[in-house]
Structure 1
Amino acid sequence: MSNHPNFDRTQAVLDAVRQGDHAPTFDLLAGDVAWENGPGAGPWHRARGQDDLALMLMEFGASLGGTFHQDGRCIYADDRMAISLIHETGEAPGGDRFDNLAVYISRFRSDGEVDRVWTVDLDAEHCEAFWQKNPGTPSKDFS
């Protein structure tokens, strides 16, 4: 039995991100994508549109001194959604370790683009404690 095409597309994006290449992510997303993060994203809760998401990713990565890394696996996909499990790690400039396991839920439009993404952190308490100790400094209000 073969995978659903959205499973393969999602896993290909996750494989690229694992290698540090976020460009394929934007090929999958609608221009007006709505992205809503759980507490693992610290002050970067919501992004509206690809430009906002790119800024959020750059600032989030910079807040972890360029050490942010994601290792993801698509666990389910169909015509409407993809569900992925993402292990996120990094280190704050002061040495505190960021280590989060999250579920990403992506919603596909009928044209195959993702128009909405929700992230759910499986260790929300750790994430909240990390960001209380290491507050990020977004250049805009991402709430």
Structure 2
Amino acid sequence: MSNTNIDLAHTYFQAVQNGDIAALGDLLAEDIVWHQPGANQFSGDHKGRDAVFAMLGAMMAASQGSFAIDTIHTLMGNGNLVAATLHFSGRRDDLAMAMDGVDLLRIADGKIVEMWLFSADPAAEDYFWGR
């Protein structure tokens, strides 16, 4: 089970890095719950694939198209959970953000049904995204 889930997570991150929205739509459950960390304009729980896509689109707009997951360091599986250690970054005008993070995906029936994100420097991420 874990290897299949790790493969699905790998496919998800490839789609994110390639901007493949169709593939992302196939991988995210329609009723996904996305837990975005911090105390910024994007923080909180986003429920449903449409809400997640709206948030991600707004993040791309706020970062002038620069927000990216640069590197996937490790994918680790435990049953229906996959943890990914990664590095992400973004730029906006004179502001820049770059840090490590952890994404935790819960997978059921071949879809990502829940996602928790963690940032190495929550204060810096909050500052970058703003209120």
User: Shift of residue 112 of structure 1?
Assistant: 2.5
Q: Does the 8 A contact of 2:8 with 2:110 survive in 1?
A: no
2:65 equivalent in structure 1: 66
- CA distance in structure 2 between the partners assigned to 1:14 and 1:72 by the alignment: 10
Alignment partner, residue 106 of structure 1 = 105
Contact kept? 1:30, 1:113, Cα under 8 Å: yes
Structure 1 partner of 2:116: 118
Root-mean-square deviation (Å): 2.0
Q: Tell me which residue corresponds to 2:4.
A: 5
> Which residue does the alignment assign to 2:96?
97
Q: Which structure shows the bigger proportion of residues in strand conformation?
A: 2
Hey, what does 1:27 align to over in structure 2? 26
Q: Which TM-score applies when normalising by structure 2? A: 0.85
> Quick one: percent identity of the two aligned structures?
25
Structure 2 unmatched runs, 5+? none
- CA–CA distance in structure 2, aligned partners of residues 89 and 55 of structure 1: 19
Shift of 1:77: 1.9
- Which stretches in structure 1 are left out of the alignment for 5+ residues? 137-143
> How far does residue 34 in structure 1 lie from its aligned partner after superposition?
0.4
Residue 58 of structure 1 aligns with an amino acid whose one-letter code is: G
Q: Tell me, in whole angstroms, the C-alpha distance in 1 between the residues paired with 2:82 and 2:4.
A: 11
1:16 shift after superposition: 2.4
Contact residue 61 and residue 67 of structure 1 kept, 8 A: yes
Q: 1:16 to 1:112 in 2, by over 3 A?
A: closer
Cα deviation, residue 119, structure 1: 0.4
1:129 alignment partner in structure 2:
127
Q: Is the 1:81–1:108 contact (alpha carbons within 8 Å) kept by the matching residues of 2? A: yes
Measure the CA separation in 2 of the matches of 1:27 and 1:86: 22
